């Protein structure tokens, strides 16, 4: 027989994810940590690499890592689930709580994986757009939850890509308004230093997502985790791939977590650099900056796509262009890098902005000259 029959209809609108692998000297596009894992940790790992059992299957429940995370959060191992990056856990949540006939409440613009995972799992997406300042439309969200048919709520806290936190009062109102599973995505917790962890006891529908990809320099190893009630964690465990978190990643993540105080200084420095970016961008004419509690800054500027290209091609600085995303017209997002990278970015921004302004003035002069018949 020739050809292949169509896959599921829901996939028709989806486009496979491809980060395009654009090369640049200064990469500030993916909210990664600017530095590798500290050498003292790499040295410790290297010493034991030879005796590492590459031939053995990983521990499916990552019990060592879970124990460490549980202890640090005043919880039991039964409250922790480790995944192949936070992304896998989001997908698992949708497999367990979503699916055909079920609904996710999404608050765009936000992390795009929520809606994509919903689509892949056949979950209906109910979107309540954020306000113009990107805060959650609390009345609309609470009204919608009152209808009682939402199965999952996902809130990025702080919100990627806009940067702000949602007020704790509103998050509590959401938890009280619904028995839906409420995922508070704390992927940037180490930078925002705000967590809903204290509310877990009272709210069995609260699950918290964290990751090793941002503050702990491990984006390449894919490790994230959930904090939640044991019953909820158990349900999510039913849908997961038993060996999704490989043994090497478990080992490195456990070592990094044990040594996490070593990362504190770099985190403080990134927070300082974030404030430099916020101030530096606010000082530029025509740039509107949104407050951020994460390791990135969103800003709005005219001709955003053209500026994005000028930064890349003229200065080898790669940031993220969101200007074609709904609700993010003319918006660009820059990841907080090292002090040197932030300086390079701010200088490049000043140059591309003034070059563009000059070329506009020139165009204006030329246009007037033409009008006057010169």
Ligand X SMILES: *Cc1c(COP(=O)(O)O)cnc(C)c1O
Q: How far apart are CA 162 and CA 290, in angstroms?
A: 7
Minimum gap (Å) between residue 209 Cβ and ligand X:
6
DSSP of 283-301: TSTTEEE---SSSEEEEEE
Question: C-alpha distances in angstroms, 119 versus 23, 176, 276, 310, 334?
Answer: 31, 27, 38, 35, 28
Minimum gap (Å) between residue 153 Cβ and ligand X:
14
Q: How far apart are CA 28 and CA 298, in angstroms?
A: 12
Minimum gap (Å) between residue 170 Cβ and ligand X:
18
Residue 31 or 178: which CB sits closer to ligand X?
31
Q: Is 108 in the site for ligand X (CB under 6 A)?
A: no
DSSP of 156-199: ESSPTTT-PPPPHHHHHHHHHH--SEEEEE-TTHHHH---SGGG
Residue among 28, 136, 154, 187 that touches ligand X (CB under 6 A): 187
Minimum gap (Å) between residue 362 Cβ and ligand X:
40
Q: Is 213 in the site for ligand X (CB under 6 A)?
A: yes
Question: In which residue are the tokens 């549980």 written?
Answer: 70
Query: Considering only 57-65, 195-203, 207-215, 303-311, which stretch makes contact with ligand X by CB under 6 A?
Result: 207-215
Question: C-alpha distances in angstroms, 153 versus 137, 150, 162, 179?
Answer: 14, 7, 18, 10
Residue 93 or 348: which CB sits closer to ligand X?
93
Minimum gap (Å) between residue 102 Cβ and ligand X:
21
Binding residues for ligand X, total number by CB under 6 A: 14
Closest C-alpha to 123, from 153, 145, 143, 165: 153
Q: What is the contact mask toward ligand X in residues 60 to 99, using x (rule: CB under 6 A)?
A: -------------------------xxx------------
Residue 34 or 224: which CB sits closer to ligand X?
224
Residue among 151, 185, 293, 341 that touches ligand X (CB under 6 A): 185
Cis peptide before 109 (omega within 30 of 0): yes
Q: Is 237 in the site for ligand X (CB under 6 A)?
A: no
Q: Are 130 and 136 in contact (CB under 8 A)?
A: yes
Residue 98 or 348: which CB sits closer to ligand X?
98
Residue 178 or 211: which CB sits closer to ligand X?
211
Which residues form the interface with ligand X (CB under 6 A)?
Answer: 31, 85-87, 111, 156, 160, 185, 187, 211, 213-214, 219, 224
């Amino acid at each position: 027989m020739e050809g292949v029959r169509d896959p599921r209809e829901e996939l028709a609108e989806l486009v496979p994810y491809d980060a395009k692998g654009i090369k640049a000297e200064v990469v500030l596009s993916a909210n990664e940590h600017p530095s590798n894992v500290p050498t003292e940790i790499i040295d410790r790992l290297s010493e034991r690499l030879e005796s590492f059992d590459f031939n053995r299957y990983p521990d499916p429940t990552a019990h060592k890592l879970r124990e460490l995370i549980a202890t640090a959060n005043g919880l039991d191992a039964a409250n922790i689930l480790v995944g192949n990056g936070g992304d896998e856990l989001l997908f698992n949540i949708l497999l367990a709580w979503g699916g055909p006939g079920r609904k996710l409440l999404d608050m765009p613009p936000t992390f795009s994986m929520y809606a994509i995972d919903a689509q892949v799992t056949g979950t209906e997406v109910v979107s309540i757009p954020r306000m113009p300042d990107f805060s959650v439309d609390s009345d609309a969200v609470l009204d919608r939850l009152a209808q009682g048919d939402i199965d999952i709520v996902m809130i990025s806290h702080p919100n990627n890509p806009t940067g702000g936190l949602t007020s704790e009062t509103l998050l509590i109102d959401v938890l009280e308004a619904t028995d839906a599973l409420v995922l508070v995505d704390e992927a940037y917790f180490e930078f925002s230093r705000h967590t809903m962890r204290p509310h877990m006891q009272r709210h069995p529908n609260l699950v918290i997502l964290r990751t090793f990809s941002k503050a702990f320099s491990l984006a390449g190893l894919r490790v994230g985790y959930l904090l939640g009630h044991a019953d909820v964690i158990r349900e999510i465990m039913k849908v997961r791939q038993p060996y999704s978190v490989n043994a090497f990643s478990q080992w490195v993540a456990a070592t990094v977590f044990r040594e996490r105080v070593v990362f504190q200084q770099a985190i403080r420095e990134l927070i300082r650099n974030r404030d430099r970016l916020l101030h530096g961008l606010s000082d530029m004419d025509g740039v509107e900056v949104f407050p951020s509690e994460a390791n990135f800054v969103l800003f709005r500027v005219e001709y955003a796509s053209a500026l994005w290209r000028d930064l890349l091609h003229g200065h080898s600085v790669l940031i993220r262009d969101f200007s074609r995303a709904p609700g993010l017209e003319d918006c660009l997002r820059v990841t907080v890098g090292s002090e040197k990278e932030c300086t390079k970015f701010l200088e490049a921004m000043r140059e591309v902005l003034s070059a563009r302004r000059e070329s506009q003035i020139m165009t204006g002069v030329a246009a007037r000259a033409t009008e006057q018949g010169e």
